Structures are given as structure tokens and as C-alpha cells.
Amino acid sequence: MIRTISRLFKTSLLLCFLAAGALAYFATRPIELAQTPVDFEIARGDSMRVISQRIAQAGVKVWPPVLTWGARLSGHAIRIKAGSYRIEQSLSLWDLIRLLSTGSNAYADMTIVEGWSFARLRSEMNAKPDLRHDTLGLKDDEVMAKLGFGPQRAEGLFFPDTYSFARGSSDLELLKRAYQRMAEILDAEWQTRSATLPLKTPYEALVLASVVEKETGKASDRGLIASVFVNRLRLGMPLQSDPTVIYGLGPNFDGNLRKRDLQADTAYNTYTRNGLPPTPIALPGQAALHATLQPQTSNYLYFVAKGDGSSKFSRSLDEHNSAVAQYQKASKK
């Protein structure tokens, strides 16, 4: 009797070792994908068995019972996160279980870039397959109404940054976060602004910051570029900014800014009109906002691109004309 019990114990122990070895083998070996990427959804309340079957059907070549019991035995089955998932390369069973229990792959990112127009932002959002495109086909003012922000021009009101979002969430949610972030950053920068700025409202600061953003080719020049525009506003001089003219031309701009374009009067032509353009012309980042509200002190009134991303600053028109001749001649060599 004792001998029989001993044999049963040894057999059971051997089976346990074999089961553990088999589980370790399946847990660590790479799982093939039927195609890449593999996308699947996990709904709140789905059982582990349903989840395993859905993952296998989506293209992850895993035997559903192995995934189900692997998650249960490891204690992760009760921690599986609902959401949209994307798998772009083969991974082990254990990595898959950890992925599902952390929900780390149920999110995607979108980077809004400094200097983008609102039209460019909308185009980039529309190209994001992980977003739900609730703004598709809407006019800009309709988008603003959907966001609940009232009748205002959308240009410049969304903060450039990288935003994480749950796959399948609305593009309106992303826009609302970017709008609120811009409001927070603009308010903080406005509170610490230089006392003598010729700007009356935070919105005027936003408008000028968008011009600074578009004019800056090298970050180290940003404070001086802001100072040029601030000095011009103080003296009542026109800003004479090419990017504002280009913005005013809209889809008519063909990439070549001509003399007739600088002379064609639009609300955004800062050669023919004094003061700020009526709205921002792009999305300014925090560095542009900071430079605009705390510009470097200078007596510069002009600058010209040197061709390497930096600018040459001048105090007088004669200096400026000389710099223009120098760098235009260099650019033609």
C-alpha cells in the first residue's frame, strides 16, 4: 500500500513538473501573427475565454485554452483591461498576458506640432486610424460649437504637444484637451508677462506668438525675433511678416511669394496694414508664447534669414538692406 502511494506521489510530481515545463515553454516561445498589425477589442465584462477566442480570431496564433489558463493560473485574468489593442510584432504568451493586464497597448499617441495651422491639425487627425473621426466633414465653426467653446476662430487655440488617447476615442476629446491646455499655458505666461508690452489681451499675445513661431528658424533667435515685432508695435510700424501674408493668401499661395502678393491687401497682410493680424496664423508652442510675453531687450527693427536657419538682426533700414543684399547674394551662389 505504501509502495503504491509512493508511486502515485512520484507520478503526480512528475506530471506537475511536466505541466510546469510545458507551461513555461508555451509562455516564453514567440507567438506568430497571421498579419501585422493585429487589432482587436476587449469589451468591459468579457470573460477570459471570450477574450482568448477573439484574440485568436483576430490573427494572434495562440491556442485559446492555453491563453485562458495561462492568464487564470498566473492571476492576471481578473486584471484584464478593456480597450482597443494593436500588436505589431510577435510576442510570447507571457508578454501577451502582461499586455492585456496592464492595458498599455490600448492607447495611442498623437503629436500636434508647433507651427501647424488648424487645417493641418484636422488633416493629421483625420489620418489617425485609432481616433474616431466625429469632426469629419464639419466646418471649423461647427467643430468649435461641438466642443462647446462658442463662436470663435479655431486657429491657434490648441496647444502643440504629444497626447495619449484610448484607441477608438473621439477626436473631439483630443481637441478639447489641447484647447484647455493652451488656455492654461497662455494664462500662466500672461500672468508673468513683461510690464511694458504693447499687448492688451492674452489673445493678442497668442496672435503675435503665432507670428513669432512661424518666423523662427533657430530657437536661439526666438527672443530677438519677438523683440523686433514688439519694437515695431511700440513705434506703430507695420510688422511686415511674410508668413502672415502667406496665411492670408490661403490656397492661392503656390509656394512662391511675389512682390504683387506683398502689395495685395488682405486682413492678414502686415505690409499693407499696421498692427496685429486679426487671428493667429498657426499653433504657437510654449517657447514662442514665452518669448512673446518676455522678449529680449533690443533696439532691433529688422531681421533677414541667413540661409542656415538663423537670422541677421539690424537696427536701421540701411543696415537691413545691406544684410539682405549680402545673404540674398550668398543664397544665389
Distance CA 204, CA 280 (A): 9
- Chain centre distance of CA 68: 37
Question: 281 has which bridge partners?
Answer: none
Lowest mean pLDDT among 12-16, 120-124, 270-274: 12-16
By percentage, how much of the chain surpasses pLDDT 90? 63
pLDDT (0 to 100) of residue 79: 87
**248-265 b/e (C-beta count within 10 Å ≥ 16 → b):** bbeeeeeeeeeeebeeee
Q: Answer whether residue 13 shows pLDDT above 80.
A: no
pTM reported for the whole predicted model: 0.74
| Domains detected in the chain | 15-102 (3.30.1490.480), 108-187 (no CATH), 194-331 (no CATH)
Q: How far is CA 198 from CA 33, 201, 228, 279, in A?
A: 61, 10, 12, 17
pLDDT at 331 exceeding the cut of 60: no
Look at residue 109 in the predicted model and tell me its pLDDT.
Answer: 84
Set of cell numbers at residue 126 = 483625420
- Bridge partners, residue 84, by sequence: 41
Instruction: Quote the pLDDT of residue 11.
Output: 58
Closest CA to 231 of 299, 303, 136: 299
Q: Is the dihedral of CA 110, 190, 243, 144 positive or negative?
A: positive
Which of residues 2 and 194 earns the better pLDDT score? 194
The pLDDT assigned to 224 comes to 97
The answer on pLDDT for 179 being more than 70 is yes
The answer, yes or no, to whether residue 10 has pLDDT greater than 80, is no
pLDDT digits (tens, 9 = 90+) for 232-250: 999 999 999 999 999 999 8
Task: Give pLDDT, residue 296.
Answer: 95
What pLDDT is recorded for position 88? 81
User: Given this model, what pLDDT does residue 38 score?
Assistant: 86
Q: Which residues, in sequence order, are CB contacts of 283 under 8 Å at separation 6+?
A: 112, 113, 114, 115, 116, 117, 118, 121, 156, 158, 159, 160, 210, 213
User: What average pLDDT does this structure show over 133-154?
Assistant: 92
pLDDT digits (tens, 9 = 90+) for 21-77: 555 555 667 888 999 888 887 877 889 999 999 999 999 999 999 999 989 988 988
Residue-by-residue DSSP string for 142-160: HHHHHHT--S---TT-S--
Check residues 305 and 41 and name the one with the higher pLDDT.
305
Per residue in 63-115, pLDDT (tens digit) is: 999 999 989 988 988 988 877 788 888 889 989 998 898 876 777 889 999 99
- In angstroms, rounded to a whole number, what is the distance separating the alpha carbons of residues 328 and 59? 58
Rounded distance, CA 206 to CA 288, Å?
9
